Amino acid sequence: MDTCAGLNASTLKSYYGTIVSGSDFWPRPEIVDPLVRSLLRGQSHTLFGLRRTGKSSIMAEAKSRMEAQGVIVSQINAESGKGLQDVFGELLRNLPAPDLKNSLLRRFEQVQNIAQPVLGLVRGWIGHGPAPTGSAASERDLLDYWPTLSPMLFEALKAETRPIALFVDELPFLIENTLTRGAGADRKQGHGLATAQQILVTLREWRGLKHVAMLVAGSIGMRGLALRHGLDPGAFNDMLPVPLPPLRRDEAVRMVQALVAGAAPPLPGWTEAATETLLDGLPDLYPGFIQLGFQSVADRGATTPEDIRHSLREHLEPQLHHQFFGQFDNRLRREELALRRHLTAAIDLVVDSAAQGGLPLDAFHAELVKRGCEMPEEIAAILREDGFLTFDPHVKNFRPASAMVAAWRNSTPRARSR
């Protein structure tokens, strides 16, 4: 059965800021069902988008569902990592298959020309030695020996007959860390760029195996990163993107009703009007936003429309700037000033056209070229991948990817000065 078990659940615990699955996961069958089916066929996917929109919980639910189907799933959060060890070492360490790990070790130990420190790293990865602590020297050694190590890893995975799924959360952050946080000498010698390229190439080789599927998620995309640092912008072209829209209004109503039913302490006096007032006061209808808004009113026992509006104004809106709006600003600050201006101009054009149903593709290109932009297609690709804009291929126009984008833009100083 594809549909999540909790689809008809009448109660839901109030969680915010944590990864949930199973009965604590608000069902997203229109996302999870086709994603799991596709992964089971061996297709790989990307899941890029804004923070707090449920990406990690989608991954956790998909992982749980795939494990129930007998798939070997290894999942890592790569946000604070850098280098080969923090991708492949963690993926191998988290493999729930001791026999596969033993096979890997036997392959490595048969090779005579691997330096002992590197072999020690591999032993640590697969649980046959102390976990490697990581250093600039060992990472350089690992990069030097990677042309020998990588084919052995590939052949071991190729020989495995069971289906494998590799889930990497926040991979773009790890790539950025690899490129920018190395020691000064390493950066001058190009170790960071070479390592990042090797990570992307190896991941592509692994997911090229018919029984290996991959799900890569991130709250920043790869297009802007590739443009800044000279990486291949098509590194994930073989992976299908997973759209992550907000809930429909009727779904959001059911979610609030389930939260009210599961509230502790209870919320006597909650009405349909209270539900509508809560939803009207949210910037968008992602489950995380609903959880945060519900907590801000439930913690204060607000059940009347007037009290709900007051709680949202006093307690939710400040958090929106801190937890949500800031991510847009931080994302744009990553770019050089010239590119940032083009990205900002494109966002303004699309947000301003939203009331008219969106900005036609031809107008988007023409307006950006008029402003001195020589790569409107790349600007569109970056903003779509990073969760700013969406493109409707049927009517060929751009729209804000969510109401949150328009709410953020309209809160900025440049919007107030327009």
Mean pLDDT of all residues in 317-345:
86
Residue 4: predicted pLDDT: 42
Axis-axis angle for helices 287-298, 272-280 (nearest 10): 120
Are 141 and 21 found together in one domain?
A: yes
Ranges 3-17, 132-146, 372-386, most confident: 372-386
Residue 132: predicted pLDDT: 56
Range of the domain at 370: 335-416
DSSP secondary structure code for residue 289 in this structure: H
Are 299 and 392 found together in one domain?
A: no
At residue 154, does pLDDT exceed 50?
A: yes
Task: Examine the fold and report which residue of 313, 329, 345 is the final residue of a domain before the chain moves on.
Answer: 329
Are 308 and 353 found together in one domain?
A: no
Are 164 and 61 found together in one domain?
A: yes
Q: The domain that contains 123 carries what CATH number? A: 3.40.50.300
pLDDT tens for 342-388 read 999 999 999 999 989 999 999 999 999 999 999 999 999 999 999 89
Mean pLDDT of all residues in 388-400:
95
Are 13 and 53 found together in one domain?
A: yes
How many structural domains are present in the chain?
Answer: 3
d(CA 165, CA 212): 6
pLDDT tens for 109-131 read 777 777 788 888 888 888 766 65
Are 12 and 131 found together in one domain?
A: yes
Are 39 and 124 found together in one domain?
A: yes
DSSP assignment of 305-342: HHHHHHHIIIIIHHHIIIIIIHHHHHHHHTS-HHHHHH
- Global pTM reads 0.87
Are 111 and 226 found together in one domain?
A: yes
- For the chain, the first-to-last Cα distance in angstroms comes to 52
pLDDT tier at 22 (50, 70, 90 boundaries)? confident
Task: Examine the fold and report which residue of 241, 261, 294 is the final residue of a domain before the chain moves on.
Answer: 241
pLDDT tier at 9 (50, 70, 90 boundaries)? low
Ranges 122-136, 144-158, 249-263, 310-324, most confident: 249-263
Are 181 and 325 found together in one domain?
A: no
Residue 14: predicted pLDDT: 86
Q: The domain that contains 398 carries what CATH number? A: 1.10.10.10
Task: Examine the fold and report which residue of 200, 220, 241 is the final residue of a domain before the chain moves on.
Answer: 241
Are 80 and 203 found together in one domain?
A: yes
At residue 135, does pLDDT exceed 70?
A: no
Segment holding 397, helix H or strand E: strand 397-400
Are 277 and 348 found together in one domain?
A: no
Are 213 and 237 found together in one domain?
A: yes
